Amino acid sequence: MKRAYIGIGSNMGDRTRNCLRAIQGMAQFPDTSLSGQSDLYLTQPQGKEDQEWFANSAALLETGLPAKDLLDLLLDLEGAMGRVRKERWGPRLMDLDILLFGNDVIQEENLIIPHPLMHQRRFVLVPMAQLAPDVIHPILGRTMAQLLGLLPEDGQSVVPVRE
């Protein structure tokens, strides 16, 4: 079994509900169990700033699936939830990314793990540092908490969702 950390984001419709539905969907994947999840956060959009803020979270899955099969299931879940890919970094109903897959380093055409931008994004590192502060990035050799501490807050606001 591998520990897979999944980044979750939505900025269309009921953003927080979309994230919670995605987490429930991942818990139904074969040979996989949901082992943890971070809180939800509202986050400033990156890359394309003229859009709604996102709801973001992270989940920990214990899985016997290969990374490529897990990615296929995540893409299927995005599609089942209504995601249509129109523009890079544009608005999306659901976005699911494999951030880490055990200590594996994978470089394939449609799959790069660790996620190549995770260490530059507070919307990824805040939930990851809450969920797994001591997990070490397999390339950078720093924990999630250390990576978060190195990242400036300017232009990357992250606000906890209050229920």
- Beta-sheet pairing, 95-101 with 111-113: unpaired
Query: Catalytic one among 17, 21, 69, 83?
Result: 83
Query: Catalytic one among 92, 104, 142, 154?
Result: 92
Helix, strand, coil in percent for the chain, rounding step 5: 30, 30, 45
Residues 6+ apart with CB under 8 A from 120: 151
Residues 6+ apart with CB under 8 A from 110: 71
Instruction: Give the Cα separation of 120 and 154 in Å (integer).
Output: 12
Query: Catalytic one among 15, 97, 121, 122?
Result: 97
Whether 92 is catalytic is yes
Bridge partners (DSSP) of residue 112 are 107
Query: Catalytic one among 15, 95, 121, 122?
Result: 95
Whether 83 is catalytic is yes
Instruction: Give the Cα separation of 119 and 27 in Å (integer).
Output: 26
Q: Give the catalytic positions in this structure.
A: 83, 92, 95, 97
